[in-house]
Amino acid sequence: MNLKTPHLLFAGLVALTAIPSLGNLKSFSGEVARARAEADRIGQDMTELQLAQQEAEQKAAIADERYRTGVVPVVDLATQGHYVTLSKNQPVLDSLTRQPLPAGTVVADANGNTGVLVDDDNDPTTPAVVQKMAFTGNRQLVQDALAQYGGASYGLPTAY
């Protein structure tokens, strides 16, 4: 019985000293949970960035191939002397007839954007619009491709 008394006293002292630490343990577990959530968010962000980079690289290869094999450059309808930037879901008109270009036409701008005209609404009264866009940052390839169509000039886009 003498042997149990010191053990019980020791266990009691340990328990008494641990009681004030319970609040710290709860706080610590909360901090661990927040850190774990932040690490998960960072991991998701990195995965999204990597996927976006892979998609950009794949689209750049597509745009490069489009510029190499031939594109129809899009110019300002009023002056026909300046390239304009492609916009998704916009029709592209023939500069002489003012009629929409047919579906399947591969169009491009001087910024490195390319697109394919798509008419997927099954409405014969609406024109094909720019879809399937891809961008290349290969300025030399863009300039070489557009040089074939002399006569138009390029103005840098401006930010507001």
- Summarize pLDDT for 117-156 with one digit per residue, the tens: 999 887 888 899 999 999 999 999 999 998 887 766 555 4
Structure tokens at 78: 């009023």
Q: How far is CA 114 from CA 7, 94, 128, in A?
A: 80, 17, 15
Cβ-in-10-Å burial (0-12, 13-18, 19+) of 138 comes to middle
CA distance 145 to 137: 13
pLDDT at 80 (0 to 100): 66
Q: Does 159 or 131 have the greater pLDDT score?
A: 131
Model pTM score: 0.69
Identify the residue with better confidence: 136 or 13: 136
Q: Which two tokens stand for residue 60?
A: 């750049």
Other Cβ atoms within 10 Å of 108 Cβ, number:
24
Retrieve residue 155's tokens.
């103005």
User: pLDDT tens digits, residue range 60-88?
Assistant: 999 999 999 999 888 887 776 788 899 99
**Coil, helix or strand for 129?**
strand
